Structure 1
Amino acid sequence: MTDGTITFESVEAYIRERRKDSAFPPALEACFVRDTWKRRAKLLRITTLKLAFVYNIFMLGDWYLANDVVGPAIAMHLLLVTPWILFVAWYVAHAPSAHMRELAAASAPVAIVMQILATFCITRSPFAGYYLYFVLITTIGANSIHRLNYKYASAGSHLIFAMLLTAILFKADLPFQIAVMHPVTYLIAASVTLSSNKVIERDQRRFYLQALRDRLAAAHASEVANLDALTNVGNRHLLFSRAEEIWGQRTEPTIVSAILFDLDFFKFYNDCFGHSAGDACLRRVAECAKSALRTPKDILVRYGGEEFLLLLPETDLPDALRLAEKIRRGVEELRIPTEKLDGAGVMTGSFGVAANFTSLTSLDALIAQADTALYAAKRNGRNQVWPPLPRTADAANVESFMLAHVG
């Protein structure tokens, strides 16, 4: 699955697979990361700050359970671990990748546990065994409240378990019952919270897929509503929608051009060759005109029957005339035969062009000007662009020509 294949159908098919794992294909995973980046970064920042607050409450435990090393414990709290957690809270919003962000978030509970176990190893307090419960609390918080992604939560939990076993083995004077119960209790708590973490992450990804499917379905419906079913170019609904955007701009007025063209003697062509041939002819001509569009701002619509309209924002009359001539030649070069009409010949088109500033005209008025030019092209022999493009390249002549025709 690539970016180009993330469609309604592909997402729907993926949902129907009902996969138990939460991993997405690379392209879909990249889309998921992009769509959830800000929300995920905000969540991690908030939970990391909460983690820092709760962690510093643990200093009460240092006082009551490891009083003999409370100074070093508090120093590790305030000078090492807390600054690191605060850095992580900043970094999760600025990380260059999702992997680095999640890795940084996972490092916060690991740093907390390192401080807890370091204090546990150096204290001689008879209550040292109780101090290890802070490891359990930290792991539960990391896997459930901190909401680490399952992969990183699992890696962090395994690392913490290895560190816990190492600390217990180091503390040789720890009673056997306590030495056994802490790892067992930790494994139970870690397993439960990791299972919950995995279910939550899988559900979140399923909700995302369903939301993505609905979004793609809505986009597809909107696209279909804006397309002419026969020619696969825009329809009048798209024309009016885009015109509202062009004429509704609050910036300085811009020049806009319209090209209205139809196919010469198309009704006779339809009668002679049949509607199937006529439909195929319209599709080929529409594709020819579509290929001539220069930017995404250019709009091509089927205006009605064999009539097509191009609306060209930020395009003056000479440029619009050149584009119309390009399409006219393209239609002629399709070599769609019309022998039954005139003995020997190909399908051609007649083009009317108009241009004006948005502040001086409306869409309807602009189209009316192009329609007038189209009929002039037909009266003057068809298969041509009207008004004809000036042959001179002199700027003053081009400017005076524009003023004479934009009315």
Structure 2
Amino acid sequence: MAFPAEAEVLFRRQNVEQQYKLVFIGWLIGLFLYDLFIISDYVLTGAYFQTYVVIRLLFVTPICLVLLWGIWRKSPYYDLLVSLIPATMVVGLSTGLVLSEGDYRPHYVFGNILLMVCGCVVGRPRTQFVAVIVALQFIGYLAVLQVTDIFPADSKPVSILFYISGAVVSILTAYAAEKSVRQSFLLDQRIKYLNAALNIQALTDPLTGLANRRSFEQATGRHWANKTAARKPVAIILLDVDRFKIFNDSYGHSAGDLCLKRIAGRVVAGLAGTDGLAVRFGGEEILLFLPNTDLTSARCIAEAIRCAILDEAVPHPALGPDAVVSASFGVASATVESCEVAELIIAADAALYAAKANGRNQVWPQPGASASVEAKRA
């Protein structure tokens, strides 16, 4: 009962994180109750009382406290430590039974069975650890029966049957608990996956795979709220596919959609290695949000993408036999503290109008040209 390697590591980390405090407190209380039985030792064991005091307080308790410290620190051996606590208690109690004599001992034997079951309920170790520890405890129990006269010969099979029953209950309890926890983990991971998928859908344009306006608003909202970015440059690039309406009217919307997908792919490739965000801003218009980018760098990025779109060579026969789809670009840059997002978009849009008015298939402002040119889309 295990997940693939990566999922198993995540499950173990999450499971330990969720339960280690509860297990620590549970076994701390369990250790207190274990030592509280020193009262029954005093009443029942007579001359062997000192033996049980040594076993409980000088052997079992210190070892269990060390194991509990490892649990609290979320040791890499967490499951083993959880399994060793009840095993240590059982070994201590069994040692007392071997070193002492008296009619009280059969009652203490059933205490071992109780500890074995409690080890699964309180500690919640993995089933494989429970199976190994229970098997070792059972072997130890058979050895105790062999070297002591706790039970008469005709009663030993019954006591062994009780111990086997306790072992089976322990393993089944551990299995059921682990199965339930693993199913809860799978459900939790599925919910997280679905939420992530829904979040991606909510922030992504379904046609191009680019970010949508909601994603853009979130990104710019975070950036403008970041005080460390106040004096750093930020750029906006607006690109518009040239004569896209003619392309759509001539070849149909399916061809137009495919054209936009291919251009979007070139845009995303052009932003590789930057912190930029590509956004489908509307229709055939794409916006690029570029934090920490000045006007010169933004123009270089825009020019590289313009050339990449030409290299994509999407045919546009309506404009001529050798014509291909091109795009016009408007670029604007400023510091965060000097403008609002809307103002930067308006400046980039004005530059895009200028690129259209001055012949399309170019980046504006060009070197030496004014970025404030106002022109109507041709």
Give the TM-score normalised by the residue count of structure 2: 0.89
1:97-128 Cα offsets, whole Å, 9 max, x none, are 4xx21112111111111111111111123322
Structure 1 residue matching 2:101: 3-state secondary structure: coil
1:238-293 Cα offsets, whole Å, 9 max, x none, are 11122222223355524322111111121122222222221111000101111222
Matched, 1:242 2:214: no
The residue number in structure 1 matching 2:236 is 258
CA distance in 1, matches of 2:339, 2:316: 39
Structure 2 residue matching 1:359: 3-state secondary structure: helix
Alpha carbons of structure 1 residues 296 and 64: separation in structure 2 relative to 1, 3 Å:
farther
Matched, 1:319 2:297: yes
Residue 246 of structure 2, aligned match among 255, 265, 268: 268
Structure 2 residue matching 1:132: 3-state secondary structure: helix
| Structure 2 letter corresponding to 1:199 | A
Alpha carbons of structure 1 residues 292 and 40: separation in structure 2 relative to 1, 3 Å:
farther
CA distance in 1, matches of 2:246, 2:94: 91
Contact preservation (8 Å) 2:94, 2:144: yes
The residue number in structure 2 matching 1:15 is none
CA distance in 1, matches of 2:229, 2:269: 30
Residue 96 of structure 2, aligned match among 110, 114, 119: 119
Kindly tell me the number of residue pairs found equivalent between the two proteins: 371
CA distance in 2, matches of 1:78, 1:366: 75
CA distance in 2, matches of 1:70, 1:320: 85
Residue 102 of structure 1, aligned match among 60, 79, 95: 79
Matched, 1:282 2:263: no
Contact preservation (8 Å) 2:27, 2:122: no
1:32-83 Cα offsets, whole Å, 9 max, x none, are 2343341133333233323322222232233234333332332232333222
Tell me which moved more, 188-197 or 230-239: 188-197
Matched, 1:221 2:193: no
CA distance in 1, matches of 2:198, 2:150: 71
CA distance in 1, matches of 2:334, 2:72: 48
Structure 1 residue matching 2:338: 3-state secondary structure: coil
1:196-216 Cα offsets, whole Å, 9 max, x none, are 332232222222222222222
Structure 1 residue matching 2:204: 3-state secondary structure: coil
Q: What runs of 5+ residues in structure 2 fail to find an aligned partner?
A: 373-378
Tell me which moved more, 365-374 or 47-56: 47-56
Tell me which moved more, 270-279 or 305-314: 270-279
CA distance in 2, matches of 1:38, 1:173: 43
Alpha carbons of structure 1 residues 82 and 214: separation in structure 2 relative to 1, 3 Å:
same
CA distance in 2, matches of 1:251, 1:83: 53
Alpha carbons of structure 1 residues 34 and 359: separation in structure 2 relative to 1, 3 Å:
farther
Structure 2 residue matching 1:176: 3-state secondary structure: coil
Matched, 1:26 2:5: yes
Structure 2 residue matching 1:312: 3-state secondary structure: strand
* Structure 1 position 93, deviation (Å): 4.4
Alpha carbons of structure 1 residues 374 and 141: separation in structure 2 relative to 1, 3 Å:
same
Tell me which moved more, 49-58 or 250-259: 250-259
| Structure 1 letter corresponding to 2:147 | F
The residue number in structure 1 matching 2:27 is 48
Give the TM-score normalised by the residue count of structure 1: 0.83
The residue number in structure 2 matching 1:393 is none
Contact preservation (8 Å) 2:130, 2:170: no
Structure 1 residue matching 2:207: 3-state secondary structure: coil
Residue 79 of structure 1, aligned match among 39, 47, 58: 58
Alpha carbons of structure 1 residues 380 and 36: separation in structure 2 relative to 1, 3 Å:
farther
Identical columns (%): 30
The residue number in structure 1 matching 2:375 is none
The residue number in structure 2 matching 1:154 is 131
Structure 2 residue matching 1:86: 3-state secondary structure: helix
Q: Considering only aligned residues, what root-mean-square deviation do their CA atoms show, in Å? A: 2.5
Residue 164 of structure 2, aligned match among 187, 197, 205: 187
Tell me which moved more, 298-307 or 335-344: 335-344
Residue 348 of structure 1, aligned match among 326, 329, 336: 326
Structure 2 residue matching 1:125: 3-state secondary structure: coil
| Structure 2 letter corresponding to 1:267 | K
CA distance in 2, matches of 1:364, 1:291: 26
Contact preservation (8 Å) 1:46, 1:89: no
The residue number in structure 2 matching 1:292 is 270
The residue number in structure 2 matching 1:357 is 335
CA distance in 2, matches of 1:296, 1:197: 51
The residue number in structure 1 matching 2:359 is 381
Contact preservation (8 Å) 1:261, 1:351: yes
Alpha carbons of structure 1 residues 174 and 241: separation in structure 2 relative to 1, 3 Å:
same
The residue number in structure 1 matching 2:376 is none
Structure 1 residue matching 2:288: 3-state secondary structure: strand
CA distance in 2, matches of 1:124, 1:143: 30
* Structure 1 position 367, deviation (Å): 1.0
Matched, 1:310 2:279: no
Contact preservation (8 Å) 1:227, 1:234: yes
CA distance in 1, matches of 2:277, 2:302: 13
1:156-178 Cα offsets, whole Å, 9 max, x none, are 21211111111111114642355
Alpha carbons of structure 1 residues 318 and 94: separation in structure 2 relative to 1, 3 Å:
farther
Contact preservation (8 Å) 2:229, 2:336: no
Contact preservation (8 Å) 1:51, 1:146: no
